[in-house]
Chain A
Amino acid sequence: MATAIVRSALSRATIRAAPRTSVAHKRSFSSSAGHDDAYEAAKWEKITYLGIASCTALAVYVLSKGHHHGEDPPAYPYMHIRNKEFPWGPDGLFEVKHNEGH
């Protein structure tokens, strides 16, 4: 019993140690590939910053321009179709509430 426990502990220790050595082995083997990924990571990091900067600039431009409200459209028969109430009440979900005092 005791030897079995020691043996299983030993074999488990070797199992645990095995990937570590193989990782170290791989690392020295594929050092150039790791370097490429570091280069690519740095490149895409710069692209991300460039993207964030242009999005921020565009956001400032678009939001500062403000948007013009057109007149209310005529009551076309195909608009504001309400054959029955929504399950949650009379108004559409993202709609200006008409029935606030309902």
Chain B
Amino acid sequence: MIESQRHSYHLVDPSPWPISGSLGALATTVGGVMYMHPFQGGARLLSLGLIFLLYTMFVWWRDVLRESTLEGHHTKVVQLGPRYGSILFIVSEIGGIWPPKGIGVLDPWEIPFLNTPILPSSGAAVTWAHHAILAGKEKRDVYALVATVLLALVFTGFQGMEYYQAPFTISDSIYGSTFFLATGFHGFHVIIGTLFLIICGIRQYLGHLTKEHHVGFEAAAWYWHFVDVVWLFLFVSIYWWGGI
């Protein structure tokens, strides 16, 4: 079969995951609305939709990894697709940041200031990981990714601590709403980036990533730098400027 292919493009097999992902998203949206309004079965539909979505993500990405790593369908030409896709996705994520006016309650020079060097440090660790892959040092790369992920988890831990101790909630004034919306969105992206990096670390440990072919790692590293830069904006606008 492979011998008969005279081009370097990947013609994908029919897959059930696009439709199952769409149904999962529909159930999640409707269930979420029902949960937030007093409708019966809202929480159940929301959980069902989320489980469906998570299952779809798992099997779809499992298929992509099989196609690229085991079946070798991701030629240099095919690799351009996910590269452009990742860049466009990250660019599409750049929304607006509105600095709030109102009650400044959290001291920016305590935990937020402590978190500010933690994310760039994990950015340095992911750069270390990238050069380790390019140099063919696969074991060092796993160490570098472990360092990256540990710093990410410390950051999330401190943010969780800060959330728990915050004397205001999302429904307390415009400041509270803006604060929790902005930092919550960022925190959610930090968690996604951390999971992405953990998957890269596991794949590196299993020997999936080579110095010639590691698009998945590159996408995770770009995403991580993006999350890192957004934190710097948040620190300046929400914590520092917003707290004045």
- A residues apposed to B, CB below 8 Å: 8, 11, 15, 23, 34, 37-38, 40-41, 43-45, 47-48, 51-52, 54-55, 58-59, 62-63, 65, 67, 72-73, 76, 78-82, 87, 92-95
Contacts and interface: CB of A to CB of B under 8 A. Distances in A.
Contact of A41 (B2, B43, B131, B154): B131
Given A37-B134, A48-B147, 20 more contacts: A11-B3, A15-B2, A34-B135, A40-B131, A40-B135, A41-B135, A41-B144, A44-B125, A44-B131, A44-B144, A45-B128, A48-B121, A48-B124, A51-B124, A52-B151, A62-B113, A78-B173, A78-B174, A81-B171, A81-B173
B121 A55 contact: yes
A59 B137 contact: no
Contacts of A87: 35-36, 42-43
Contact of B171 (A43, A48, A80): A80
Contacts of A93: 169-170
B137 A38 contact: yes
12 contacts: A34-B134, A37-B135, A44-B144, A45-B144, A52-B147, A55-B118, A58-B114, A67-B107, A78-B173, A87-B42, A92-B171, A94-B164
B208 interface: no
Interface of B: 2-3, 35-36, 42-43, 103, 107, 110-111, 113-114, 117-118, 120-122, 124-125, 127-128, 131-132, 134-137, 140, 144, 147, 151, 154, 163-164, 166-174, 176, 212
A79 B173 contact: yes
Decide if the interface of chain A is mainly helix, strand, loop or mixed. Answer: helix
A69 to B, nearest CB: 9
A52 B121 contact: yes
B154 to A, nearest CB: 8
Contacts of A65: 110
**Residue of A45, A48, A92 ringed by the most chain B CB atoms within 10 A:** A48
A51 B121 contact: yes
Contact of B110 (A11, A62, A81): A62
Contact of A79 (B107, B113, B117, B168): B168
Contacts of B124: 44, 47-48, 51
